[in-house]
Structure 1
Amino acid sequence: MAMHLPSGKSRGRRAPMAEINVTPLVDVMLVLLIIFMVTAPLLTAGVPVNLPESRAKPLDQDQKPVQIAIDDAGQVFVDDAPVTDAALPAALAAVAARPGADGKPPQIFLRADQGLGYGKVMRVMGELNRVGLNRVSLLTEATAQ
């Protein structure tokens, strides 16, 4: 029976590797970066609405506005929560009851699908005006100039 005794010479052994291979780490990080770059734009718009195009410049905002969206089926959403036509006046009255930091009513961003009838948008704007929410901005898609 042969037995291996540790001697000063280790012919068959390799020296321990003192380097770390970072290539797999870089590969994983690049894949995660791509995943976040693809999913980040999808998180911004809550209700999918096909906005009309405009060449207007964006507005400067101090506080977060209330988002009201009307999709192509005519469903109204207040801050991404669906609201029926019967419950819309009460929901808008609750929004008007919470004033902004400057004491004024909150800013309203109204997003409506471009295929929607003019009457539906005007009914929502009439309810906004009735409860005293007069700071309304109609959102559009920016066009290339």
Structure 2
Amino acid sequence: MRFSQKQSSKLPQVDLIPMLNVMMGILAFFVMITMSLGSEKLIDVQLPADQPDNAPSPLPSDPFIVELVGENLVQLNGQPVEVDALKGQMADYLSRNPENIVFVLPSQDLPYEQVMQFLGEMRSVGGNRVSLAIEE
């Protein structure tokens, strides 16, 4: 018993619409990621120059140390202070002492984003004379 073989002369057709849907979805994904990553603000951080003898620079006689203890909890030289009052005191300090620097000392338990936002607020008042400090 022989089976008859029918040969089809038609070529198989490729449906392009599902492939185009997938490609447009991927394109939309990358456009959205690019737009969201491009809108972040950056804070310019300038690292100090290397000191040959590795000796730390001496603190001024009246240092201005701002401790970021918790969310919206700020201390100035160990005393609690409001952020708005701190900005005024910092402007006065920097105008009286043109060579001194304001040190911001954050708690290590705070999230990085909160520390950078606070540092940005302080830099809006003091410019490049506000420095992020760490405890050893």
TM-score by length of 2: 0.47
TM-score by length of 1: 0.45
Greater relative contact order (Cα < 8 A, sep 6+):
1
Greater share of residues in helix: 2
